[in-house]
Structure 1
Amino acid sequence: MSQFDFAEAFEQARTAPDVTDRASGLEEADRIGGVALVQARLQGNGRPDCLDCGEDILPARRQAVKNAVRCKECQDDHDKWEVRRHG
């Protein structure tokens, strides 16, 4: 998957003739974006900024968790949400 695939899917969704086609296109763009995120995490690549709050991920966290995509606080919140969601 490439950034081009995501952009193409999003553009198709944006210009789709009806609501169903737009929804399908947005779902595809979301899937492509999710796959890219998983691939980056599996390769050990994180993000420089938090996926949730947008703040920079501190260097100490990036060093400790190479594939971090959230700052410590947002990751803690996300983990708590996942526990509640999955019981």
Structure 2
Amino acid sequence: MDEIDAAQKAERLFREGALASMRRPKAAARESLTHCVDCGEEIPEKRRLAIQGCRRCRECQEEFDKEAPW
């Protein structure tokens, strides 16, 4: 994957996340999900309680953060 492909992927992930957060009601944004939006695995309860609005398991969040443009 070259730099342009990586940049396009990061931009797509960022845009998808921004659009999803705009569609989500504000009250629901504070509730953690029980299953990861990327892999579908259950998110451990400790993580859901520690990170308000958690949407990804630790592994998927780390991958998402690596690809994010910030």
- Asked which structure has the greater RCO (Cα within 8 Å, sep 6+), the reply is 2
Structure 2 gap ranges (5+): 1-15
Task: Give aligned-pair identity as a percent.
Answer: 34
Partner of 2:39: 53
Aligned-pair CA distance for 1:77? 0.4
Partner of 1:65: 51
CA distance in 1, matches of 2:45, 2:31: 14
Aligned-pair CA distance for 1:46? 1.7
Higher-Rg member (1/2): 1
Aligned-pair CA distance for 1:70? 0.2
What is the count of residue pairs matched by the alignment? 50
Partner AA of 1:72 in structure 2 = R
SS in structure 1 at match of 2:49: helix
Greater helix content:
1
CA distance in 2, matches of 1:69, 1:48: 8
Aligned-pair CA distance for 1:55? 0.4
- Large movers: runs of 4+ above 6 Å: none
TM-score when normalising by structure 1? 0.50
> Pairwise mapping of residues 30-41 of structure 1 onto structure 2 (< 5 A)?
34=20, 35-36=23-24, 39=26, 40-41=28-29
SS in structure 1 at match of 2:34: coil
